[in-house]
Amino acid sequence: MTILTFDIEDWFHTHENRQYFSGHVWKELPSRVECNTVRILEMLDELELKATFFILGWVAQHHPELVKRIHAAGHEIGAHSYWHHSATLLRANDFEKDLVMCLSRLHDITGDQITAYRAPGFSLRLKDQWAFDILAKNGITVDSSVELTGQKRKPPIVVEAGDKQIIEFPLLKSVFGIPYSGGGYFRAIPKILHNYLFSNEVKAGNNEKYRLLYFHPRDFDPKNPYSNLFTLYRNWLNSYSTDTCMDRLKSILSTHNTCTIGEATARYKT
């Protein structure tokens, strides 16, 4: 099973140097999220595929038409927080405030109750019970916010949260210890390794039952701006192999059957 997901955020929504700037500078930066997300939508349309879009609340606030377009195309909408803070750096009440802002913005635009969540940077841990309790309290039933290297329990993992349950689809690192199935890691691995990791014989991590593809609009953008908000490394990573990323992804989509995280949950439950 290969789950296809996109985290809809702009090129400047990273964790890099966040101690030096806050969201108030974002409005001043040239936005690339709309044109790059449209390219993703066109690709999915061409391949007749549906995916899960975890959308940042800030992006929804500033680009409501883009959210409407994703929703109208029949894709699944999930929440990706409002401010893109690393989840475990927040106090519980700030985490909830941020979550509610994101959920209500997405609900206002789509009319849907949002039930899927991904924390920025896969920053939740299974031991963060307080966060799962807050997610469940606010209607989240499917989550993909944890990164795992080894796990005794076979993922997906059922997390109990009071009288509710959340199905957690962690990001599983490969046998080489890297989360190769999306983002900068996907772009940075050499083609030969890429082919090997995505050959159907390879099982990543322990007890892999699925692959989790996770991409951002910036992964496909050779025109990501250079910014002195970031280190040289981040500037390099924001540009590395962005010109070939979509073709690489397309080659995987042509050889793997994919599904949304909602469809994966339904299959898991049956």
Binding residues (CB under 5 A) for Zn ion: these are 7, 9, 120
For Zn ion, give the closer residue by CB, 54 or 158: 54
Distances (CA, A) of 19 to 14, 15, 22, 120, 133: 12, 9, 8, 16, 28
Question: What's the closest the beta carbon of residue 267 comes to Zn ion, in angstroms?
Answer: 26
For Zn ion, give the closer residue by CB, 80 or 173: 80
Residue 71 falls in which region: left (phi positive, over 0), alpha (psi -120 to 50) or beta: alpha
Contacts of 198 by beta carbon, 8 Å cutoff, 6+ apart:
252, 255, 256
CA atoms within 13 A on the CB side of 110: 27
For Zn ion, give the closer residue by CB, 41 or 102: 102
Q: What is the 8-class DSSP label of residue 118?
A: -
Helix (H) or strand (E) holding 63: none
Question: What's the closest the beta carbon of residue 187 comes to Zn ion, in angstroms?
Answer: 15
Question: What's the closest the beta carbon of residue 183 comes to Zn ion, in angstroms?
Answer: 9
Contacts of 258 by beta carbon, 8 Å cutoff, 6+ apart:
2, 3, 4, 49, 51, 213
CB 130 within 8 A of CB 99: no
Number of H helices, E strands in the chain: 10, 11
For Zn ion, give the closer residue by CB, 121 or 205: 121
Token representation of residue 194: 């890429």
What residues form DSSP beta bridges with 124? 146
Distance CA 231, CA 58 (A): 23
CB 262 within 8 A of CB 75: no
Q: Which amino acid, 1? A: M
For Zn ion, give the closer residue by CB, 120 or 184: 120
Question: What's the closest the beta carbon of residue 132 comes to Zn ion, in angstroms?
Answer: 19
For Zn ion, give the closer residue by CB, 120 or 170: 120
Token representation of residue 4: 């296809």
For Zn ion, give the closer residue by CB, 21 or 257: 21
